[in-house]
Amino acid sequence: MSILDVKNLNLGFNCENGFRHALYDVNFSLEKGKMFALVGESGCGKTMSAMSILQLLPKTAKITGGEIIFDGKNLLNCTQNEMQKIRGAKIALIPQDPMTSLNPLYTVGDQLLEVLKVHQNLEGKEAFQKAIEAFEMVQIPCPEIRLKSYPHEFSGGMKQRAIIAMALCCNAEILIADEPTTALDVTIQAQIMKLLKEIKEQTQTAIMLITHDLALVGENADEVSVMYAGRIVENAPADEFFQTPNHPYSMALLKAIPSNKGEKLETIAGHPPTIQQIINGCKFHPRCKFCMEICKQEIPPMFTVGQNHNSACFLNK
């Protein structure tokens, strides 16, 4: 059963030469105890989709349609005060860059205790004990000492663990992890993803993983949606997606993953379109090896290609 449903989300930006859409009819769901991965090239709209859930959008952004249903309520109709009670407490964000996400002027413990004060109304010894438990959950050693440390005394991996602890300390129902392994070395990446997987299984938290790293997705995700130029072009269970990808863009992404067989990597010709570019029909058609005349004229609908597997490509017509 889904805990959050994004339905037909449309979003755009006020630019110098007028309003330009960035998200088109985006649909996906999050389920308890499942990890949903939203993948695609940089600039395709992944982070904007997540920030729409939290209502943390730039001033120039405007949602023009759709619904985001959480706890039976459309978050797009919530006031800022209502959203402040949801952010951090029920829907928590693990931001993209652990190196700049903590305030260098305060100890890590002070920042974690502030979260507990605001969202759990905890102070004093009770809050400190809760903070210790949060650090223990994310496997930070010597939590009593580490809570008194400043961010510069933490490694990149430790900072990311501290941020995850802040997200978990209020028992959030949903974790949005936006490129959670950015700027971390491969060993630490594996540790962070292992931690998120354990949290998902132990607490039944729903996790939304935003990434362009398909290797991480293959090892950890339960469901996958592929986004291109503001549209979701394929949805599938993770196992099925990697075994039988359907959309040409999905297939091209998978062929660009390095393997241990020494095979030559394939590249995707051209570049993703900018928000300013107007492309008729399927936005991927200028880069697609299978482009047909209809692709240049019409936007492909979602076709059912398997159980819970959909693809927006006219090859399935």
Give the number of other CB atoms < 10 A from CB of residue 87: 18
The per-residue pLDDT for range 106-135, each reduced to its tens digit, is 999 999 999 888 888 888 888 899 899 888
**Phi first, then psi: what are they for 238, rounded to 5°?**
-55, -45
Structure token pair of residue 220: 């950890």
pTM: 0.90
Q: What is the pLDDT of residues 236-282, one digit of tens each?
A: 999 999 999 999 999 999 988 777 666 677 888 888 898 888 899 99
What pLDDT does residue 260 have? 61
β-pair type (35-39, 206-211): parallel
Read off the pLDDT of residues 24-54 as tens digits, 9 standing for 90 and up: 999 999 999 999 999 998 889 999 999 999 9
